[in-house]
Amino acid sequence: MQLQQRHTGSVLVVKPLEKRIDASTAMDLKQKMNEWIDAGNRRIVLNLSQVDFIDSSGLGAIISGLKKIGNDGDLVICMVKETVMSLFRLTRMDRVFDIFTSEEAALAALSQKG
């Protein structure tokens, strides 16, 4: 999976550059998420602005990242397309994740938690 990643302070910002996060790419995302967290990243922004399609496998990979961080940090999401947002609403994950309309808002929220 093609990803763009950068640090802003202590926050890791990750932007998948693929249009789809589905069963064929979910394991890759989950593995990368594990590596970031194992490397000490505890505050992560996932920018989904390039993603048109997420299925339950892709959603599961994102959830696994949040579970791995646990209460020791946070994984927030930003710039979710309305179509993809409908999956978060359907599965009630919109009540689990903090979801922001811009990367700046996501960074600001995570910075306050630091």
Residue number, 6 or 89, with CB nearest to other proteins:
89
In this structure, what token pair is assigned to residue 92? Answer: 């009630």
Rounded least distance, CB 86 to other proteins, Å = 5
Supply the minimum distance, in Å, between the C-beta of residue 55 and other proteins: 5
Q: Rule CB under 8 A: is residue 83 a binding residue for other proteins? A: yes
Tell me which of 10, 90, 101, 104 binds other proteins, using CB under 8 A.
90
Give residues 3-22 in contact with other proteins (rule: CB under 8 A). Answer: 20, 22
Q: Is the Cα dihedral 30, 34, 14, 78 positive or negative?
A: positive
Q: For CA atoms 45, 31, 59, 73, give the dihedral sign.
A: negative
Residues from 33 through 62 that contact other proteins (CB under 8 A): 53, 55-57, 59-61
Q: Where are the beta strands (DSSP E) in the chain?
A: 3-8, 11-16, 20-21, 43-47, 53-54, 74-78, 99-100
Q: Does residue number 77 form part of the binding site for other proteins (CB under 8 A)?
A: no
